[in-house]
Amino acid sequence: MRALAVVGVLIVAAAIFVIVAVVKDHQGGPAAEGGKCPEGSVLADAKLPRQQDVKVTIFNATSRSGAGSDVANDLLSRQFKEAKVVTAAPNPPVNKPGDEVAVIRYGPATVGAAWLVRAYFLNRATAEFDKARQDDKVEIILGGKFKQLPTTTEVNQAIAALGNPELPPGTCAKDDG
């Protein structure tokens, strides 16, 4: 009887300890430190979105005509919200990434979306973050080493390998609350 009473008291004490620990837990991420971003930082949306919420603009810097359209059609069939191919000059903008698979350009509003897009290139694309960028699109510049997008299984494995999106330097997490 005493053993049951001792075990009962220990269970109640453990339950109280867990409840108090959960209630008093005030952990936070980068934005929680003081409730503000450090001076000069910008708010970035690092939440990993669904494909249905991602918009991309595609530039073709490969030697293959139609590669941009092929990628756009493939991304749309995989439920991306928008995938537009830019054919007007300059195509691609600025540098031609001839010796790369792709270059992914993005701003603070699309940090999580760019992370997702990287998985579609099996993390072999070069990421270029521009904290002054204000749009809600991710630019993809297909490079000379681009062959094709991976299978859905390979993309899912790449997403798991990449983990959660990381904030670029000079940013802090946008408060979703």
In the chain, domain spans: 42-173
Name which of 164, 98, 153 is nearest 122 in CA terms: 153
> How far is C-alpha 175 from the chain's CA centre?
16
Classify domain 42-173 by CATH number: 3.30.70.2390
Q: How many CB atoms sit inside 10 A of residue 164's CB?
A: 9
Local structure of residue 143 (DSSP, 8 states): -
Q: Residue 30 has what pLDDT?
A: 44
Which ranges of the chain would DSSP assign to H, the alpha helix? 2-24, 67-77, 111-119, 152-162
Quick one: average pLDDT of 134-157?
A: 93
Q: Residue 51 has what pLDDT?
A: 92
Q: How far is residue 34's CA from residue 29's CA, in Å, rounded to a whole number?
A: 11
Quick one: average pLDDT of 84-89?
A: 79
For the ranges 14-18, 19-23, 56-60, which has the lowest average pLDDT?
19-23
pTM as predicted = 0.75
Share of the chain above pLDDT 90, in %: 55
Q: How far is residue 131's CA from residue 119's CA, in Å, rounded to a whole number?
A: 21
Name which of 153, 85, 145 is nearest 119 in CA terms: 153
For the ranges 16-20, 91-95, 155-159, which has the lowest average pLDDT?
91-95
